[in-house]
Amino acid sequence: MSADIEAAALIAHCDNLSHHIVRVARQFRMASSQLLREVGLHPSQEVVMKVLWERGRLRQVDLVQLVGSDAATMTRTVRRLEQAGFVRRVPSPTDKRSVMVEPTAASIALRRQVEQSCVELEELITNGLTDAEQSQMRAILARLEQNIADHLSTTAQPPGDDTYGPS
């Protein structure tokens, strides 16, 4: 069997919803990475920066909760953002055990470019969909997300859940 026929047979065999979600998520992440790479960020870093731009200086532990990450992943993400000059870690003025994370002027200058990348990505993924289809898609995705969240809340999650992947 040729490689093309074998690949087509595999795709036909994997024509279930889960497989489509995995493929779309992978392609979405690739497109997002491509757009954000132009401004020097990764998708997981973009989420952290959006929270900091909207809320300002935050404790690192609060970022973990707001982003839906884990402490180890957030530590790596913040360290890389700090090395790139996009955030600054400072001691908390009220709690010596806490570290505050704040956006730098360099990251604030990137905000408009990042927001434009998000607009481009939204246009890319909704290309050809009517407003009604987009609304329906949002509702379906929200329902899928809730179904998974409900399941995870009743089962033990593996340690080191890396929601947004390595950054």
* 3-state DSSP assignment of residue 150: helix
Cβ atoms within 10 Å of 91's Cβ, excluding its own: 11
pLDDT of residue 155: 83
Confidence of residue 6 (pLDDT cuts 50, 70, 90): low
Query: Which tokens in the block code for residue 8?
Result: 């087509």
**How many CB atoms within 10 Å of residue 98?**
14
Q: Which helix (H) or strand (E) holds 59?
A: strand 58-59
> What's the pTM?
0.73
The pLDDT of residue 133 is 97
pLDDT at 13: 60
pLDDT, one tens digit per residue, over 102-160 is 999 999 989 999 999 999 999 999 999 999 999 999 999 999 999 999 999 888 655 55
Phi, psi dihedral angles at 120 (to 5 degrees): -60, -40
Q: Which amino acid is present at 4?
A: D
